Amino acid sequence: MTTHIQIRTCLPGDEDALSLIGQATFLETFAGVLAGRDIVAHCANAHSAVLYRDWLNHADYRLWLAEAHPGQAPVGFMALAPAQLPLPDISTQDVEIKRIYLLSRFHGGGLGKRLVLEAIDEARQRDAKRLLLGVYARNDAAIGFYERMGFQKLGTRRFNVGGHDYDDHIMGMVL
């Protein structure tokens, strides 16, 4: 059976699917890198259904859900929001990909590219000057993907999980 992936704009009620994907992909990405108890504690807060419900109800946020067909199982998502990254030249004309998560089974098939193209289109509709994102500095595969999509490293930030700081690259593209 062939799996087709549909991307759609999220609606209120999608928060449980977003939470599930957020937690599953964070665990999948950081198991063996971060302590398990730290992953669980982080996901309970950073990937709660309540957080995603708030984002879905926020006028400045836009979220997309990737679903496998048949069955409409959630396999990934992306969130776009006003930029809140520690750059010296951050502007209200910047937009941030707050999250872009896909189950690893769906990496390499063009789904990430489709999501980023949705973000670029939405950012341009908002008359944004730059599209920004943060990515774990040791996630070479993701960094390479973003570079192929046209993003460049602009800075760094610290990301805290379980009381431990980790380095993120801040990447961006001029629109």
d(CA 95, CA 91): 9
Strand order, beta sheet including 152-161: 4-9, 62-69, 73-82, 94-102, 130-136, 164-174, 152-161
pTM here?
0.94
- Reported as a single tens digit per residue, the pLDDT across 96-140 is 999 999 999 999 999 999 999 999 999 999 999 999 999 999 999
Residue 49, pLDDT above cutoff 90: yes
pLDDT of residue 37: 95
CATH architecture of 4-174: 3-Layer(aba) Sandwich (3.40)
The predicted structure's pLDDT at residue 3: 75
Domain boundaries, the chain: 4-174
Answer whether residue 156 shows pLDDT above 60.
yes
Separation between Cα atoms, residue 131 and residue 170, nearest integer Å: 11
Reduced to 3 states (helix: H, G, I; strand: E, B; else coil), residue 27 is: helix
The torsion angle over the Cα atoms of residues 8, 175, 103 and 38, rounded to 10 degrees, is -120
Is 75 in contact with 103 (CB distance < 8 Å)?
yes
Is pLDDT of 60 > 90?
yes
> For 2, how many CA atoms within 13 A lie in the half-sphere containing its CB?
3
What is the C-alpha separation between 49 and 51, in angstroms, rounded? 5
CA angle 127, 12, 40 (to 5 degrees): 95
